[in-house]
Amino acid sequence: MDTSGRALSYYPGCSCSKNGIGRHYSFSSLAVLRALGIRVSEIEDWNCCGSNLYRVVDEKGSYLLGARNLAKALGMNLPEILILCPACFLSMNRTLTEILANNKIKNEIIKKYSILGSPASSRIRIRHIIDFLVNDVGEEAIKNRVKRRLEGLKIAAYYGCQITRPYSYFDDPEFPTSLEKIISWIGGQPVESPLKTKCCGGMLMLTNEEEVLTVIEKIFNSYVGAGAECIVTACPLCHLNLEITRTRLSRRIVDKHLPIIYFTQLVGLSFGIGIDELGISKNVAEHLNEKMVLTATI
Amino acid sequence: MVREGFIHEALKTKTIWLCSTCYLCAVRCPAKINIGEFMTALKRLALKNGYSNNQLYPKLMKTYAEYINKYGRISEPRLMIKFSLKTSPFKLLKMIPLSMKLLREGTLSFSLEKIQNMEEIRI
């Protein structure tokens, strides 16, 4: 499929907004898409998706949060919505599914957003960036764009939970392979872990810290044991939780220099995009270089 | 438990507040029951009926909802700080090493933009 020149709307969500903790995920994703010739327009004045938290406090209100964003994307005539954050991806998918399947919710929603009751609403598609890169952009276009293959670098992908669950329309819910495909297309060597979709605990880091730290220690052990020289993530919250845990664990379990970056930062690196634009720190870049050179000389 | 009529006992458990809604149960259930959504429903019932007073998770959700109701968006660093101040402020000290790292990498910011019309997300 030729995706060059294709236009999508983009829902950053709080974490991947310019003020969010996952801003580098967003910057690098947009840089990668730009390099691939894909046009992305941020949904104007978007609001928080509500995640899985708001709906416990106010269920009806949570659908309204999602609906407002969907209506805005439709209003921009860009019904294909690109999302990076798995929690946003899940809750926007849920809102869309409920509007389509549940008349009670639908009637409530279209009182406020009539556009979602129109036939145009059937054109809305929620796309995770992994899905879009693997299934629409595809192998050929990505390989063609690679300027510098990440030869020999052992890369482990950590998906976390909500990218493939419960809406697993583009990959296996427990053992997805999309990120490994991307890694091999850019010349890296994918490293497997049985815990790649194990939940990082998410927000429980704030409420049940001990339990969450134990789980993430297991995740680190599994990745480091498999020989990972770099861990790539696709979720701002997973990313943060891995970083928090790393500051608490001993260096024997996980090296403080082990690069933990968003997969789009790594793709950008292979595309020859500058580290400043991708939000990769000098330390991490040097460490990655070292690993690649080292592997090349062996 | 709920099906057998032990609804109060179910709502009193700590279990429902330990569910991170990762939906592993939902995709594994042979009867295709979305247990994750069921957990969310129990959380909602517990919150509504005052079963959740001594748990931290409901406080976190309320703080989260406060931000949405006020700004239409959230800011994780602010959420973390506000929640910690409400519950156990000394925990914030443990966040210092990470905060320094995030500051160096330029990913820590406390700004939060409000959406234009708050009425649009109110029923």
Cα A94 to Cα A99, A292, B44, B60, distances in angstroms: 8, 41, 17, 22
Give the pLDDT band of residue A73 (cuts 50, 70, 90).
very high
Q: What percent of chain A has pLDDT over 70?
A: 98
Assess whether pLDDT exceeds 50 at residue B67.
Answer: yes
**Are the C-beta atoms of B68 and A48 separated by less than 8 Å?**
yes
Residues B40 and B66 in one domain: no
Report CB contact under 8 Å: B26, A61.
no
DSSP A190: E
Question: What's the Rg (C-alpha) of chain A?
Answer: 19
B9 vs chain A: nearest CA distance in angstroms?
A: 19
Give the pLDDT band of residue B54 (cuts 50, 70, 90).
confident
With respect to residue A117, please indicate whether it lies within any of the assigned structural domains.
yes
Give the pLDDT band of residue A296 (cuts 50, 70, 90).
low
Query: Which pairing describes strands A189-191 and A125-128: parallel, antiparallel, or unpaired?
Result: unpaired
A245 Cβ contact list (under 8 Å, min separation 6): A212, A213, A216, A217, A220
Instruction: Provide the pLDDT for residue A295.
Output: 59
Residues A269 and A202 in one domain: yes
Mark which of A98, A129, A160 sits at the end of a domain. A129
Which residue is it, tokens 């379990």?
Answer: A253
Tokens matching residue A86: 């798995």
The CA-based angle B98-B104-B109, given to 5 degrees, is 75
Instruction: Provide the pLDDT for residue A129.
Output: 98
Assess whether pLDDT exceeds 50 at residue A298.
Answer: no
Mean pLDDT, residues B21-27: 96
Assess whether pLDDT exceeds 90 at residue B123.
Answer: no
Residues A174 and A102 in one domain: no
Phi, psi (degrees; rounded to nearest 5) at A155: -115, 125
**Are the C-beta atoms of B115 and B72 separated by less than 8 Å?**
yes
Assess whether pLDDT exceeds 80 at residue A294.
Answer: no
Structural domain total, chain A: 2
Q: B113 CB near a chain A CB, below 8 Å?
A: yes
Which residue is it, tokens 């999508």?
Answer: A8
Give the pLDDT band of residue A91 (cuts 50, 70, 90).
very high
Secondary element (H or E) of residue A155: strand A154-158
Q: A247 CB near a chain B CB, below 8 Å?
A: yes
Quote the domain boundaries for residue B28.
7-48
Residues A110 and A221 in one domain: no
Structural domain total, chain B: 2
Residues B66 and B117 in one domain: yes
Give the pLDDT band of residue B1 (cuts 50, 70, 90).
confident
The interface predicted TM-score (ipTM) is: 0.93
With respect to residue B1, please indicate whether it lies within any of the assigned structural domains.
no
Quote the domain boundaries for residue A96.
7-129
By the 10 Å C-beta count (0-12 exposed, 13-18 middle, 19+ buried), B4 is classed as exposed
Report CB contact under 8 Å: A14, B26.
no
* Disruptive mutation site among A21, A97, A206 for chain B (greatest number of B CBs within 10 Å): A206
SS3 A164: coil
Chain B residues close to A194, C-beta within 8 Å = none
**Are the C-beta atoms of A224 and A256 separated by less than 8 Å?**
no
- Which residue from B99, B107, B113 is spatially nearest to A20, judged by alpha carbons? B107
With respect to residue A170, please indicate whether it lies within any of the assigned structural domains.
yes
Residues B91 and B39 in one domain: no
Neighbours of B63 (CB within 10 A): 21
Task: Read off the CATH number of the domain in which A14 is found.
Answer: 1.20.1050.140
Report CB contact under 8 Å: A243, B72.
no
B55 Cβ contact list (under 8 Å, min separation 6): A207, B14, B17
Residues A124 and A163 in one domain: no
What pTM, to 2 d.p., does this model score?
0.95
Query: Angle formed by the axes of helices A236-248 and A209-225, to 10°?
Result: 90
Instruction: Provide the pLDDT for residue A5.
Output: 85
Residues A121 and A20 in one domain: yes
SS3 A28: helix
Residues A58 and A167 in one domain: no
Average pLDDT, chain A: 94
> Which residue type, as a one-letter code, is found at position A24?
H
Residues A84 and A206 in one domain: no
With respect to residue B113, please indicate whether it lies within any of the assigned structural domains.
yes
Residues A207 and A249 in one domain: yes
The predicted-structure confidence for A121-180, as pLDDT tens digits, reads as follows 999 999 999 999 999 999 999 999 999 999 989 999 999 999 999 998 999 999 999 999
Assess whether pLDDT exceeds 90 at residue A253.
Answer: no
Which residue is it, tokens 């939000």?
Answer: A279
How far is A98 from A106, CA to CA, in rounded Å? 7
Assess whether pLDDT exceeds 80 at residue A293.
Answer: no
Average pLDDT, chain B: 92
Residues B36 and B74 in one domain: no
Instruction: Provide the pLDDT for residue A3.
Output: 85
With respect to residue A258, please indicate whether it lies within any of the assigned structural domains.
yes
Task: Read off the CATH number of the domain in which A275 is found.
Answer: 3.40.50.11810
The predicted-structure confidence for B93-110, as pLDDT tens digits, reads as follows 988 989 999 998 889 999
Residues B82 and B42 in one domain: no
**Are the C-beta atoms of A232 and A129 separated by less than 8 Å?**
no
- Concatenating the DSSP letter of every residue in A1-53 gives ---TT-EEEEE-TTTTSTTSTTHHHHHHHHHHHHHTT-EEEEPTT-----TTT
With respect to residue A195, please indicate whether it lies within any of the assigned structural domains.
yes
A78 vs chain B: nearest CA distance in angstroms?
A: 20
With respect to residue B13, please indicate whether it lies within any of the assigned structural domains.
yes
